[in-house]
A and B are shown apart, each in its own frame.
Chain A
Amino acid sequence: EAEVAQSPRYKITEKSQAVAFWCDPISGHATLYWYRQILGQGPELLVQFQDESVVDDSQLPKDRFSAERLKGVDSTLKIQPAELGDSAMYLCASSPGGVAEAFFGQGTRLTVV
């Protein structure tokens, strides 16, 4: 069964350091999402790609966060510098596009110390 792959599963980093997360979507899925989820809350969209283009990054803190999907397949989300408030679960999801459902990876649990 096709799955969204994310790595690493867990990451501990010191504040002011750089951190990066990787996501490989389900093959053929044109839409890719990065969400951030704080414990006890629902996922909040950070950035949405359609193929290699960003279609929504209105909630992405662009002074420290960046995301790319260079060949329209896998994607990287970077934080530099990390802050204590960035501690959360970072989720990647993919969708065939249009109005279809999205499928999530297992997430990366980030702890900033």
Chain B
Amino acid sequence: EDQVTQSPEALRLQEGESSSLNCSYTVSGLRGLFWYRQDPGKGPEFLFTLYSAGEEKEKERLKATLTKKESFLHITAPKPEDSATYLCAVRISGSARQLTFGSGTQLTVLP
């Protein structure tokens, strides 16, 4: 069965304290891994797409990487405004190419 697992469930960091969020997946036929940011009461906001192992994408303080079994979202010197829930999703091969989400990591950055 296809599964997407995110860890940790919650993470509290001090401003400037770098860390990483993990998204591990067991799917057959990965056709893309996506990271989203979600603020309370709002829809997910697209951040990155990764298609193949070894690929990396960067945006401001965020860097996403992909291996054959997992993806990491590295946050360098976070600021309080980076506080949000970070979701990863995978798209698998098949006729419908569903987009399946993990349960998210709730990040809190303290000033």
Contact = CB atoms under 8 A, between A and B. Distances in A.
Contacts of A45: 98-100
A53 to B, nearest CB: 11
Interface in B76-98: 87, 89, 91, 95-98
Given A103-B46, A104-B44, A42 B87 contact: yes
Nearest to A10: B41
Interface residues of A, number: 28
Interface in B17-70: 31-32, 34, 36, 41-46, 49, 51
A105 B36 CA distance: 13
Contacts, number: 61
B7 interface: no
Contacts of A93: 43, 99
Contact of A48 (B41, B42, B49, B98): B98
Interface of A: 4, 6, 33, 35, 40-45, 48, 50, 55-56, 91, 93, 95, 98-107, 109
Interface of B: 4, 6, 31-32, 34, 36, 41-46, 49, 51, 87, 89, 91, 95-104
8 nearest A-B pairs in the assembled complex, by CB-CB distance: A42-B101, A104-B43, A56-B96, A55-B96, A42-B103, A107-B43, A99-B31, A99-B32
Given A4-B43, A104-B43, A107-B41, 17 more contacts: A33-B99, A42-B6, A42-B87, A42-B89, A42-B104, A45-B98, A55-B95, A55-B96, A91-B43, A93-B99, A99-B51, A99-B97, A104-B36, A104-B44, A105-B43, A106-B42, A109-B41
